[in-house]
Amino acid sequence: MHIIQADDLRSHYANPSWDQPLRLYYDETNNIRRLTLSEVGLNNSPDRMFALAGIALMPGKEIVGWDALRKQMGIQVSATEIKYKHVAPPEYEGALASERLTSFLEWLTESETLIHYSVLDVLFWSVLDIIESLMVDERVNINEVHMELKNELVFAVKIDPKAFMTLVHGFGYPNIKRADVPAFLKCVLAFVERRLPKNRNLATQALKKLLRGAAKLPRVELTFLHDNEPGELIADFSLHFMHVLCKFKQASHVLDRETNIERILQRVEIRNGERRLNYRFSDSKIEIGIQASDVIAGLIGRHFTYVLGHSVSELKQALDRFSERQHKNLSLLRGLIDASDSYSNGLLHAVQPLDTGLKNDMFLHGRPVPDFLD
């Protein structure tokens, strides 16, 4: 069995709030399990955000009022468990209009239950290694602007993802031959220039300059895009599960059963020094915390997928037409997110382009967006 030390996977931004002995429950949504690229394209749509999310209990807190909540929401006594589908419709705007969702979010708020999430834009995750590989080269000084460069790259990719995937597949991505790196970078540059002939901001210009300059560097390599399995963009999501376990290494973690992840984690043991971290998989039917987490994961996954898939103007139009109920549920969600973030910034994690984060800040928190997004 392979031993993994939690501190090796923990961010260097860890702070004391990450060491609280919380009790965290988990479920996930939009788990495509694997993303591969072949001559026919991607095996799964990358348009939905993967979300690993749930509830978090502060030290000394317990789950209370569950039976009363079930009764308030009108859940049949014969139902063995509550899932997202019992609380809200599958479509996000419809979910915000759900009276049951109001009851659920108010129950979390009144009981001072925190929420947590780790969301992932799978297309962003699949292409960011192009920039991260160049960050390793000391001749390329982009560490302070790498997020802006990744943002512009994925913005261009999302204009025509099929064409981009066809391009990179021709180079065996993510297993590019070292001798082909200059040609690969030139092709990526040509793709970006065709999709973004006008620079929408300074970062677009910087991305083009980076790709053009890197392609001319002697013996240039793309460190994270060599010696991989061709076409294997995401083998599984185990790293994201392990990341959240390691972040709160003093907490207890209860995860919904997920066969593929369970099998992978059985091959490793995650420790804090000599102590095995406190994590286990359990049946949602006997874990109220997992049932509540199913609702949170479903809502969070739909929320970020909705933001991802809409422009700023579309999001503003949605806010203008939302009903009182929809605004109330959005406000309750915002309150839970703010309370959780105030308790520990480690509870909320997103791997996504800057554009998505800025759109979410506008949609959920009413913050202004840069002119190039408006």
Q: What percent of the chain has pLDDT over 70?
A: 100
Q: What is the rounded CA–CA span in Å between residue 82 and residue 96?
A: 18
Q: What is the rounded CA–CA span in Å between residue 108 and residue 90?
A: 21
Of residues 235 and 21, which shows the higher confidence score?
21
Collect all residues with Cβ–Cβ distance below 8 Å to 198 and sequence separation of at least 6. none
Q: In terms of Cα–Cα distance, which of 33, 87, 56 is closest to 293? A: 56
The distance of Cα 374 from the centroid of its chain, to the nearest Å, equals 23
Confidence (pLDDT) at 7: 87
Does 137 score more than 80 pLDDT?
yes
Q: In terms of Cα–Cα distance, which of 292, 95, 96, 329 is closest to 337? A: 329
**pLDDT average, residue stretch 329-356:** 97
Residue 136: band (very low, low, confident or very high) from pLDDT cuts 50, 70, 90: very high
Question: Could you give the maximum distance between any two Cα atoms of the chain, in Å?
Answer: 70
- Kindly state the DSSP code that residue 349 receives in the 8-state scheme: E
Query: Which residues partner with 274 through β-bridges?
Result: none
Does 354 score more than 90 pLDDT?
yes
CB contact at 8 A, 236 and 33: yes
Collect all residues with Cβ–Cβ distance below 8 Å to 134 and sequence separation of at least 6. 140, 142, 210, 214, 222
Q: How far does the chain reach from its first CA to its final CA, in angstroms?
A: 51
Query: Which residues partner with 280 through β-bridges?
Result: 254
DSSP annotation string for 355-370: HHHHHHHHHHH-----
- Least confident interval from 109-123, 249-263, 306-320: 249-263
Amino acid residing at 67: D
Does 152 score more than 90 pLDDT?
yes
Task: Tokens for 143, please give them.
Answer: 């560490």
pLDDT, mean over the chain: 94
Collect all residues with Cβ–Cβ distance below 8 Å to 127 and sequence separation of at least 6. 150, 153, 154, 157, 164
Task: Tokens for 115, please give them.
Answer: 């929420």
Does 40 score more than 80 pLDDT?
no
CB contact at 8 A, 18 and 50: no
The residue to which tokens 């392979």 are assigned: 2
- Kindly state the DSSP code that residue 310 receives in the 8-state scheme: S
pTM value? 0.95
Confidence (pLDDT) at 186: 98
Rg (CA), the chain: 22
Q: What is the rounded CA–CA span in Å between residue 211 and residue 301?
A: 33
The distance of Cα 166 from the centroid of its chain, to the nearest Å, equals 25
Q: Is 164 left (phi over 0), alpha (psi -120 to 50) or beta?
A: alpha
Residue 12: band (very low, low, confident or very high) from pLDDT cuts 50, 70, 90: confident
Confidence (pLDDT) at 77: 84
Q: Is 54 left (phi over 0), alpha (psi -120 to 50) or beta?
A: left
In total, the chain counts a number of residues equal to 374
Confidence (pLDDT) at 9: 86
